[in-house]
Structure 1
Amino acid sequence: MTLSAVRPGLRRLLWGRGVSALGDGLWFTIWALYFTRVLRLPAPTVGLAMALAGGAGLALAVPIGALADRHGPRGVLITVTLVRAAAMAGYLVVHGTVAFLVVTVLFTAPANGATAARTAMVAGLVGGDAERVRTLAGQRVAQHVGYALGAGLGALVLSADRPAGYLAAIGGDAAGFLVLAAVTATVPAVAPVARSRTARVRPVLRDRPYLAVVGTTAGLSLCWAMLSTGLPLWVSRSGRLPLALSGAVVVISSVGIALLQVPASRLARGVGASARTAVRSGVALAASCVLLATTGAGPVPVAATVVVVAALFHVAGELGFVAASWGLSITLMPEDARGAYQGASEAATATVQMFAPAVFTLALTGLGAAGWLLVAVVFLGCSAPLPALARWAQRTRPEPRHTI
């Protein structure tokens, strides 16, 4: 199957992902208030549901990826998307703690596996690792544009703060998943690559070099909580920096990703280039942390300017991390276990994301400016070993596809 033959399907998948991401951005903006103000659920119940869903997501990522290998990623992705659509619609009628827990797990738990199946589908449709990474970069751009538009709609829902608005938003998100499922059905099918029931689950769990690479790379995903948790907490606790700075940084990040993620994918052509890009990403993210550590004192205009400069370093670091993560996880995976290996990569990132908000909360509230320096050390510690780990992983591949 040539790239020209599948390109129309990939374009449709890109638009479908953008529509679905619009619903995601809308949902992520309103869910906390919907649960606590409309459903009137106590915060511990919401926290328990999220913890259970997160744990289930970690457990399901590799099995869902393995299902994509055995039965083809398109059918698995459509099924998971429909399950998530039904679960989202379930929030419209859910009553009681048990029902809420079930719906939340059904909605959240398959998300990592869906990403793994989608990546496996792209890898099956697109030949060549560089073109695969470029295609995934385009998908991420569409995703972020959708998120931004959805967040804007979510802000309108929050400003109205009416139950009808929340319910309409949930219905819209469920419809977005249905659109994505319908669009995915029009994409050319990828043939299954694994036949044995267990043959493609166990090897990835025993592939220590690959797990070391994707696990270490996943540490750089702390950059996401840096924007969602660390910076807003730092700005609000400072008592001097304008609260709008956090929003401005998010805008800078979104625009930067939309404009530069596809060009940044060129930095991940091969294992060696991807590993070096990850190192540079860690340095950029560490520099961003160091700059933010200096904004606790001094003139406010100067501190605000430093925050903006730190945001630019953060954008550079995030772009590099995402490209390197794709480049390493895709280039090092076996072609006959794409879904299972991408599931392992997604599980590694999800594990970091489970603890990331706590990392920034504890570091910044307990250590102040020194907390930023501690996180900078973490970024450097996660990126520095990657060239050596990547060489180790590459040596253990049955047929190395690139040289470092």
Structure 2
Amino acid sequence: MGEVETWLRRLMWARGASAAGDGLWFTIWALYFTRVAGLPPVAVGIAMAAAGGVGLAAAVPLGSLADRFDARRVLAATTTLRGLAMACYPLAQGTWAFVLVTVLFAAPANGGNAARTALLTGLVADDGERVAVLARQRVAQHVGYAAGAGVGALVLALDDPTAYHAAIAANAVSFAVLTVVALRAPVPRRPTGRAASPLRDRPYLAVVGATAVLSLCWAMLSTGVPLWTSRSLPLSLSGVLVVVSSVGVALLQVPATRLATTPSRAARTAAVSGAALAAACVLLASSEVVGRPAGVVVVVLAGLLHLAGELGYVVASWRLSLALMREESRGAYQGVSEAATATVQMVGPAFFTVGLTALDAGGWLLAAAVFLAAGAAVPALTRRAERSREPSPA
């Protein structure tokens, strides 16, 4: 095993460790803020909105710093900042101190992800191998999330301030693990050539924008399905689908990379993924009218289609964002990709909440149309972007 492969494995396990901290934190944060810190829900909402806005604005500049200086150092700096902010939560007294800590913790996340991708792509030159590396990272991430969520459930069962503070300390340590491994990793290949601005690359923006719409699949599972099944189906059903999704990603994300071996195949995979997610939405829309026993079966089938759509969307978005980026500005380009996905994630819960509340089953049909249209647009947009990369004829 070569040095680079060894460090890719170490980065994968470090990502898993930080994801375990994330899973732990995301399981307990709502109750910690309200029950231990005593913060009003309005303050929590303001802090999250502010952090999200700053994070979107910071993604591309942080990615550009990874191009200009060293992706390892940018990843380490953003991770260290997030770890220190996490450690400061028990010290934050008052609403504004809490808002500041939350912004410092959440805002660098998108830029840190862009720097991590820039580091990995700087260590690996082949796009196919890059996608495989990202797939293994995602598997480690899901395993870490699951482990952290399990520990978080124990913290919630104890429901004691000491347990919450211990969980915060553990999360801060998980960030330190990733920081140390990132700093010790080999120096990635530095981009050559004049830096290009991804914000002026309209073909690239169109492709990542269309594929980012497919990331609504995550809000569909976390928001749409629980809201819908709670009306007439067992409350535990949405939890079953989350488990199916997590296990499916852990088992199938790496094999799914074979669906996106070229940009054209990735574009077709995105189109098929959009169709699969649309079909899942149609099944969910019909689940109420078929009766309770059959409705459970229909929802499970929709969950399997959702898993297929998610796996395909993820590998397609990776391949397209890597193959179509300018190599000399890979950090900035990945920052744009992260920002596009984060934007969709910000509006996703509201999209499903408002749609299902106002339109009932029609909300699922609206979501199906969005998934279908976004996926269908990717092949043509990809061909346009590829043409823009070709040298002009003499």
Q: State whether residues 193 and 328 of structure 2, in contact with CA within 8 Å, keep that contact through their aligned partners in structure 1.
A: no
Letter in 1 for 2:66: A
Counterparts of residues 318-397 of structure 1 (less than 5 Å): 318-397=310-389
Once the two structures are aligned, what percentage of the paired residues are identical?
61
Deviation at 1:47, TM superposition (A): 0.5
Q: State whether residues 232 and 246 of structure 1, in contact with CA within 8 Å, keep that contact through their aligned partners in structure 2.
A: yes
Letter in 2 for 1:226: M
Q: Distance in 2 between matches of 1:194 and 1:117?
A: 17
- Provide the secondary structure at the position in 2 that maps to 1:185: helix
Deviation at 1:186, TM superposition (A): 2.4
Dislocated runs of 4+, deviation >6 Å: none
Letter in 2 for 1:269: T
Q: Note the alpha carbon deviations across 1:180-227, whole angstroms, 9 max, x for none.
A: 11111222111432697xx44xx2111100000001110000000011
Q: State whether residues 72 and 193 of structure 1, in contact with CA within 8 Å, keep that contact through their aligned partners in structure 2.
A: no
Q: Distance in 1 between matches of 2:223 and 2:391?
A: 42
Partner of 1:35: 33
Q: Distance in 2 between matches of 1:281 and 1:328?
A: 14
Counterparts of residues 223-302 of structure 1 (less than 5 Å): 223-236=217-230, 238=231, 240-302=232-294
Q: Does 1:214 align with 2:208?
A: yes
- Provide the secondary structure at the position in 1 that maps to 2:254: helix
Partner of 1:304: 296
Counterparts of residues 48-127 of structure 1 (less than 5 Å): 48-127=46-125
Q: Does 1:317 align with 2:309?
A: yes
Deviation at 1:374, TM superposition (A): 0.6
Structure 1 residue runs of 5 or longer lacking an equivalent are none
What is the TM-score with the length of structure 1 in the denominator?
0.95
How many residues were matched structurally?
A: 392
Q: Distance in 1 between matches of 2:44 and 2:324?
A: 38
Q: Distance in 2 between matches of 1:370 and 1:136?
A: 36
Structure 2 residue runs of 5 or longer lacking an equivalent are none
Q: Distance in 2 between matches of 1:370 and 1:214?
A: 27
Deviation at 1:165, TM superposition (A): 1.2
Q: Distance in 2 between matches of 1:128 and 1:191?
A: 13
Q: Distance in 1 between matches of 2:74 and 2:225?
A: 37
Q: Does 1:47 align with 2:39?
A: no
Deviation at 1:339, TM superposition (A): 0.1
Q: Distance in 1 between matches of 2:58 and 2:190?
A: 19
Deviation at 1:94, TM superposition (A): 0.8
Partner of 2:138: 140
Q: Distance in 2 between matches of 1:152 and 1:290?
A: 32
Deviation at 1:98, TM superposition (A): 1.4
Deviation at 1:370, TM superposition (A): 1.1
Q: Note the alpha carbon deviations across 1:240-280, whole angstroms, 9 max, x for none.
A: 21101011000000000000000101111121011000001
Partner of 2:173: 175
Partner of 2:126: 128
Q: Note the alpha carbon deviations across 1:122-160, whole angstroms, 9 max, x for none.
A: 111112111000000000000000001111111111122
Letter in 2 for 1:19: A
Letter in 2 for 1:147: Y
Deviation at 1:342, TM superposition (A): 0.3
Letter in 2 for 1:114: G
What is the TM-score with the length of structure 2 in the denominator?
0.97
Deviation at 1:97, TM superposition (A): 1.2
Partner of 1:19: 17
Q: Distance in 2 between matches of 1:396 and 1:4?
A: 36
